[in-house]
């Protein structure tokens, strides 16, 4: 093993020992793992009009509300309240009187196909993903931005059930969650119709099974993705290929995306500079230098400010 391979191996080993990012992936895992009462509360407060529809179409649930009114647990006119106010008041009883209806209500919401419904209405948690190779499909028009900034756009937890279509900009909130496929599912990714290009990269995240798409998908936090490798399909030959980031020439090509992905992963230590690019490494170096300068400037500024305060005092 040469020096370069040892360096890469040490980086990979260190990354493998890291846990999921506590600020982004752990909350998502907990969100998917909530109990039925918590999920019902989330659905009712986020989609109160569907909660009203459910009560009006479920005789037993409606009668339970009437019993609660007779027992003076809730106001007599609660069913005539505004959707949001009614949902907020009744959702407190998902742990008690309305507990028998939680699971049924969640299923009711999932059947409606509302674009604002929570992720757990359309997907199940499967497993944690720790620094694994993933494949993200995208359109060729997005490649320049991804090459320059990485996965700089995504969505928050509330918008993960139905993400916007390819090429749309209406829902680009900034850094957030993005979807990808496990590298072993590259053939599924190729046939998904989510784009004509692919990005192979390493990241940690959460794997889910999306009922509507009938696919295993991985949700990751965009800025955490690293070692981005850009894969293309030749318009004429339909062969999948990757260019050298050093020479700009075609490095290798295969008939399927799956074969190309496996070649890149297997040969990553040896062809690291060609696949990831010296240019990308230089950009990272520039960012680190800029960060150090910013920290030094902040330290000096704070020192000057503290001296100024003392003089004024």
The 10 Å Cβ neighbour count of residue 269 is: 16
Give the CA distances from residue 126 to residues 33, 88, 131, 190, 217, in Å, rounded to whole numbers and listed in that order: 11, 31, 16, 22, 10
What is the helix (H) or strand (E) element at residue 126, kind and residue range? strand 123-138
pLDDT above 70 (res 171) = no
Give the pLDDT band of residue 16 (cuts 50, 70, 90): very low
Give the CA distances from residue 134 to residues 87, 131, 203, 258, 261, in Å, rounded to whole numbers and listed in that order: 40, 9, 7, 12, 9
Which range scores top for mean pLDDT: 2-6, 30-34, 150-154? 30-34
Q: CA 18, CA 28: separation in Å to the nearest integer? A: 17
Give per-residue pLDDT as tens, 285-309.
Answer: 445 555 555 566 555 555 544 544 4
The 10 Å Cβ neighbour count of residue 215 is: 16
Q: At 204, phi and psi to the nearest 5?
A: -105, 160
Give per-residue pLDDT as tens, 73-116.
Answer: 999 999 999 999 999 999 999 999 999 999 999 999 998 878 88
Question: What's the confidence (pLDDT) of residue 166?
Answer: 38
The 10 Å Cβ neighbour count of residue 101 is: 20
In the chain, the percentage of residues whose pLDDT exceeds 70 is 78
Q: CA 137, CA 189: separation in Å to the nearest integer? A: 7
Q: CA 19, CA 34: separation in Å to the nearest integer? A: 21
pLDDT above 60 (res 188) = yes
Q: What is the mean pLDDT of the chain?
A: 81
Question: What's the confidence (pLDDT) of residue 174?
Answer: 72
**Domain assignments of the chain as residue spans, ordered by start:** 48-113, 123-276, 277-313
pLDDT mean over 150-170: 68
pLDDT mean over 109-128: 88
Would you list the DSSP string of 59-124?
A: HHHHHHHHHHHHTTSS-TTGGGS-HHHHHHHHGGGTTTTTGGGHHHHHHHHHHHT-TTS-GGGTEE
Beta strands in 143-192 (DSSP E): 177-182
pLDDT above 60 (res 30) = yes
pLDDT above 70 (res 119) = yes
Structure tokens at 140: 């060729």
> 243: helix, coil or strand?
strand
Q: CA 215, CA 99: separation in Å to the nearest integer? A: 31
Question: What's the confidence (pLDDT) of residue 212?
Answer: 74
pLDDT mean over 208-213: 84
Inter-residue contact 228 to 146 (CB < 8 Å): yes
pLDDT mean over 62-81: 92
């Amino acid at each position: 093993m040469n020096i370069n391979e040892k360096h890469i191996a040490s980086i990979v080993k260190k990354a493998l020992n890291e846990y999921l990012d506590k600020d982004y992936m752990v909350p998502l895992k907990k969100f998917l793992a909530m109990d039925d009462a918590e999920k019902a509360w989330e659905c009712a407060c986020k989609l109160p009009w569907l909660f009203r529809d459910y009560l009006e179409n479920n005789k037993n649930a409606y009668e339970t509300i009437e019993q609660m009114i007779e027992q003076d647990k809730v106001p007599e006119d609660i069913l005539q309240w505004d959707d949001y106010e009614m949902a907020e008041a009744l959702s407190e009883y998902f742990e008690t009187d309305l507990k028998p209806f939680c699971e049924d209500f969640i299923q009711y919401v999932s059947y409606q196909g509302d674009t604002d419904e929570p992720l757990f209405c359309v997907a199940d948690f499967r497993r944690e993903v720790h620094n694994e190779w993933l494949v993200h499909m995208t359109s060729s028009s997005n490649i320049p931005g991804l090459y320059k900034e990485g996965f700089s756009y995504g969505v928050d937890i509330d918008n993960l059930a139905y993400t916007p279509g390819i090429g749309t900009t209406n829902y680009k909130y900034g850094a957030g969650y993005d979807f990808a496929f496990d590298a072993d599912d590259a053939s599924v990714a190729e046939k998904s119709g989510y784009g004509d290009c692919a990005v192979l990269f390493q990241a940690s995240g959460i794997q889910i099974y999306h009922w509507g798409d009938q696919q295993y998908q991985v949700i990751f936090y965009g800025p955490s993705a690293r070692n981005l490798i850009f894969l293309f399909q030749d318009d004429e030959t339909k062969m999948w290929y990757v260019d050298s980031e050093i020479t700009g020439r075609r490095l290798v090509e295969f008939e399927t995306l799956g074969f190309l992905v496996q070649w890149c992963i297997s040969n990553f230590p040896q062809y690291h500079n060609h696949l990831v690019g010296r240019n990308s490494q230089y950009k990272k170096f520039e960012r680190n230098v800029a960060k150090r300068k910013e920290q030094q400037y902040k330290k000096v500024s704070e020192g000057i400010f503290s001296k100024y305060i003392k003089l004024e005092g």
